[in-house]
Amino acid sequence: MTFVRGRRVLTIAMAMVLAGLTLIAGAAPAQARRAGLAQPAITLPGGSQAVAGGTVTVTFDAGGDRRVTGFRYSFGSATLDARVAAGVRGGTATVDLAVGDITGDRPLYAAVVDRFGRVGPLNQATVTVTPVAGGELTGRVLNGYTWLPIAGAAVTLSPGGLQVSTGDDGAFSVGGVTPGVYAVTAAVGGDCPATSTQTLEIDGQGLAVEFYLFPECAPEQ
C-alpha cells in the first residue's frame, strides 16, 4: 500500500513538473514576441531640405508590427523628447517638424514605442536646413504734390545702412536684404528737402513700395 501511495505521489510530482515546464515554455515565446522591436522607417515626403525657420514633413512607419502604438523622436539630438501616436497599431504617423534656425545637415532620430512604454532601437535620417534667401526691396519715390518721379533721392535701410539712389524714373532696387523689419527712409536734399520713413517687413519673397515726398518749397498754385 505504501508503494502504491508512493507511485501516486511520484506521478503527481511528475505531473506538476511537466505543468511547470509547459508554463515556462509558453512564457518564453511571449517574452520573445515582446522583445526585438524594430527600427521605424523614416521618410521625408516633401524632400530632405527645409528653409531655416520653416518645417519639414516626416512620416514614421512601424512596418505593420502591431505591438507598436507610437513613436518617439527628436531633431538635432537623440533625446527622443517628442511623441506621436500611430494612426493604427503597427501603422504610421506624420508630423510637421520645426527645423529651427541652425543651418546645415541636421540629424533626426526616431524609435518605436509599444503599449507598455518600451522603446525600440534608434533610426536616423538627415535633414538639410538651408539659409533664408535674401529679399529684394523695390519701389519708386514720387513728388507728393505733382506725382512726378524724384531722381537722385536716397533710400536707406536701418538697421544695416544699405543705401541706394533713385534713377530718372524715381525707381530704386535694394537686393540681398536679410529678412526682417526695417525702417526705410527716402530723402531728398537741396533747396527743397523732404523725408519720408516707413517701417517695412521684408521677407525672402521681396517687397515693392512707393514713397511720396512733400518738399518744403511746394509748387505755387
DSSP 140-172: EEEETTT--B-TT-EEEEETT--EEE--TTSEE
Q: Which runs of consecutive H residues, i.e. helices, occur in the chain?
A: 2-34
In a domain, 197, yes or no: yes
In a domain, 18, yes or no: no
Res 139: pLDDT: 96
**Do residues 126 and 157 both lie within one domain?**
no
Nearest to 203, CA basis, from 136, 104, 124: 136
105-146 pLDDT per residue, tens: 999 999 999 999 999 999 999 999 987 777 889 999 999 999
Question: What is the number of domains present in the chain?
Answer: 2
Which of 110, 130, 150 delimits the end of a domain? 130
Nearest to 12, CA basis, from 20, 190, 158: 20
175-213 pLDDT per residue, tens: 888 888 999 999 999 888 999 999 999 887 789 999 999
Flag whether pLDDT at 5 surpasses 50.
yes
Which of 130, 156, 185 delimits the end of a domain? 130
**Do residues 141 and 69 both lie within one domain?**
no
**Do residues 116 and 146 both lie within one domain?**
no
Give the structural domain span for 176: 135-213
**Do residues 146 and 72 both lie within one domain?**
no
**Do residues 166 and 110 both lie within one domain?**
no
Res 22: pLDDT: 46
| Burial track 115-144 (b if 16+ CB lie within 10 A, e otherwise) | eeeeebeebebebebeebeebbbebbbbbe
SS3 for 120? Answer: coil
**Do residues 48 and 83 both lie within one domain?**
yes
Which of 82-86's residues contact partners 24+ apart within 8 Å by CB, and which partners?
Answer: 83/113, 84/60, 86/60, 86/62
Is the model more confident about 18 or about 59?
59
**Do residues 108 and 57 both lie within one domain?**
yes
**Do residues 50 and 120 both lie within one domain?**
yes
**Do residues 97 and 151 both lie within one domain?**
no
**Do residues 59 and 100 both lie within one domain?**
yes
**Do residues 83 and 163 both lie within one domain?**
no
**Do residues 139 and 208 both lie within one domain?**
yes
In a domain, 55, yes or no: yes
In a domain, 46, yes or no: yes
CA separation for the pair 11, 13 (Å, rounded) = 5
Which of 130, 149, 173 delimits the end of a domain? 130
26-75 pLDDT per residue, tens: 443 333 344 589 999 999 999 999 988 889 999 999 999 999 999 999 99
Q: CATH number, domain at 161?
A: 2.60.40.1120
